[in-house]
Structure 1
Amino acid sequence: MNKKIVLALGGNALGNTPTEQAEAVKITAKSIVNLVEQGNQVLIVHGNGPQVGMIYNAFDLASKDNDKIPSLSLALSGAMSQGYIGLHLQQAINTELKHKKIDKQVLTVITQTKVSADDPAFSKPTKPIGSFMTEQEAKQVAKATGSSVGEDSGRG
């Protein structure tokens, strides 16, 4: 075949906890390595909504209880999520490659996107982060934290 394939994995498909994610990528790695085994070059990109939200919220909560723990920016939370998603993917793919005796290297890259600070899109954010909640949970979180919460495409 020898095609160049870009696979896009949604953050929600990777699970809501590091444990769920590690299990999900083991399954995904088998399909990815099957494509490699057929002679394809594979590039994987991924979302990180639940993961970046988990990291951001964990640091925010921890910083309220311990003044030595800082709250994090979304940029730092995003980089951390890319790192641990990339690590899980890289480990699972490497394990599957070794199992099939395929000698290929796997690389994880942390990326940045440059945007204009005055982009009008910032006045109406469209990418929710964090876990899905019931309407009641969302109202409680919004009241307790002052965070904005919103419906995500009929999914919660």
Structure 2
Amino acid sequence: MRGVFAGFGKSKAFAAVGRALVPADRVLLRISGGRVGVGAAVGLRTLLLTTTGRRSGEPRQVPLLYVERAGGYVVIGSNWGGETHPAWSANLLAHPAATVTRHGRTEEVTGRLLAGDERQEMWDAVAAYWPAYDRYAVRAEHREIRVFLLAPVSR
């Protein structure tokens, strides 16, 4: 099922649908403790990232696709290939301490922006899982999409 959605995921129509589904996904992940989300219905690994708002200081939550690598979770700030970075990525740059909720567990993490070869290696891992990210990079032609490693604090 994920393969079918991976092809559709490259389209601008999917980006519009995806943006519209984010609030529902956030609610589902929140009430299920990260067990059930929109992505799970089609076989996608999704976590709920809680950052601290860089201006408000308030908690902000966003559902994100992820892959496990380097002892943590790699997430991509694609913003569906939009012209600007997503707010959660700016929040994470300002306040790297965050939490991740998945599979009924919440854990503290520290977010680190990746660069150079490490960024490329992690990008390739996530893009192999969700090929639409390569299309998003083309659409976001005037910015380099941010790639983060969310490293658990307890490990």
What TM-score does the superposition give when structure 2 sets the normalisation length?
0.29
- Which has the larger share of strand? 2
- Which has the larger share of helix? 1
What TM-score does the superposition give when structure 1 sets the normalisation length?
0.29
Higher-Rg structure is 1
